[in-house]
Amino acid sequence: MNIIVCVKQVPDTTEIKIDPVKGTLIRDGVPAIMNPDDKGGLELALRLKEQHGATVTVVSMGPPQADVMLREALAMGADRAILISDRKFAGADTLATSYTLAGCIKTLDYDLIIAGRQAIDGDTAQVAPEMAEHLGLPQVTYVVDADITPEGLIVKKENEDCVQTLAVDGKCVLTVLASAFKPRYMTVAGIIDAYNREVEVWSAEKIDVDENLLGLKGSPTKVFRSFPKALKAPGEVHELSDEEAVELIFNRLKEKHII
């Protein structure tokens, strides 16, 4: 069985702060990490590999710096790593990104594709379903469990109000939640090994795409403007004795007709 896992390198958004004077994002010193849901996807792939035997290939679209994240994937247990990297991909929205990934995956042998639910920088959750559409494959999103049984692939999908069990016939795309697949650590031997192996770097020529549909040119959405969220005027903050604090809250709730 061949499993492809799509991964993205992202800034750790929990570490991003806003410059209180300029109102801009402070991105200096923010670590770049493997997107958490994608790491959950890799973990699922590695579990399926252990249980059923599989070759796990990680694919990422991004700048050359993503090499370090792909080596982390190799150190966790992936067998092959491909970085699709080209200036022609710059400015891609979700549709152009999904088209690019699909163009790479089309050239590979696969039985199952796994991706994270969403990336913590963009939070769109659109790339994997759009990629599935480009590839003409079925999908199950928000996956919290998956297993290969004699009847085929059985997955659990977590919705707001229920958990569904679904059976998939043939190849498909799954998107998974990080919370359901706690990732393993890299081993020391794995890390050493990962730096002796090759991360393949593929340009636009190597994948099956129409170059007019890449990057900014292939993106129907455009960012019109971006801005830091308007901060609310700060309210009152008090350091009081417990008794005074209770009276103050009590009086405010009364003024607001809450009690």
Partner 1 sequence: MNMNDYKDVYVFAEQRNGVIQNVAYELLGKATDLAKELGHQVVAVLLGYGIKDQAQSLVEMGADEVIVIDRPELKDYLTEQYKQAMYQLIMARKPQIVLYGATTIGRDLAPRLACKLHSGLVADCTKLTIELDKEGKKEFYSTRPAFGGNLMATIVCPTSRPQMSTVRPGVMQKLQRDVNRKGIISEFEPVFDEKEFKVRLISTEMNDQKVADISTAKYLVSGGRGVHDAEGFKKLQALADEIGGMVSSSRAMVDAGVMDHAYQVGQTGKTVRPQLYMACGISGAIQHLAGMEESGYIVAINKDKYAPIFSVADLGIVGDLHKIIPMLTERIRREKEQNQ
Q: Which stretch binds partner 1 (CB under 8 A): 47-55, 103-111, 199-207, 237-245?
A: 237-245
Q: How far is the CB of 130 from partner 1 (least distance, A)?
A: 4
Q: What is the torsional sign of CA 17, 19, 24, 30?
A: negative
**231 is a contact residue toward partner 1 (CB under 8 A):** yes
CB of 96 to partner 1, least distance (A): 11
Asked if 63 and 85 count as a contact pair (C-beta separation under 8 A), the reply is yes
Q: Per rule CB under 8 A, is residue 249 in the interface with partner 1? A: yes
Least separation in angstroms between CB 181 and partner 1: 15
Q: β-strand 152-158 against 139-149: which pairing, if any?
A: antiparallel
Q: Are 57 and 115 in contact (CB under 8 A)?
A: no
By CB under 8 A, residue 38 contacts partner 1: no
| Residue 216 touching partner 1 (CB under 8 A) | no
Binder of partner 1 out of 28, 109, 161, 205 (CB under 8 A): 161
Q: Is residue 159 at the binding interface for partner 1, with CB under 8 A as the rule? A: yes
Give how far Cα 164 sits from Cα of 140, 169, 199, 200, 206, Å: 10, 16, 37, 38, 39
253 binds partner 1 (CB under 8 A): yes
Give the span between the Cα atoms of 134 and 107, in whole angstroms.
13
10 or 204: whose CB is closer to partner 1? 10
Asked if 124 is part of the footprint of partner 1 (rule: CB under 8 A), the reply reads yes
- Looking at 95, 114, 115, 204, which residue binds partner 1 (CB under 8 A)? 95
Among 168, 180, 207, 214, binds partner 1 (CB under 8 A): 168
Candidates 1-9, 50-58, 105-113, 219-227: pick the segment binding partner 1 (CB under 8 A).
219-227
Residues in contact with partner 1, counted by CB under 8 A, come to a total of 78
Task: Pick from 75, 132, 176, 209 the residue near partner 1 by CB under 8 A.
Answer: 132
DSSP letter string, 8-30: -EEE-GGG-EE-TTT--EE-TTP
CA angle 157/48/166 to nearest 5° reads: 25
Rounded to whole angstroms, the Cα distance separating 259 from 255 reads 8
Q: Residues 112, 216: contact at Cβ < 8 Å?
A: no
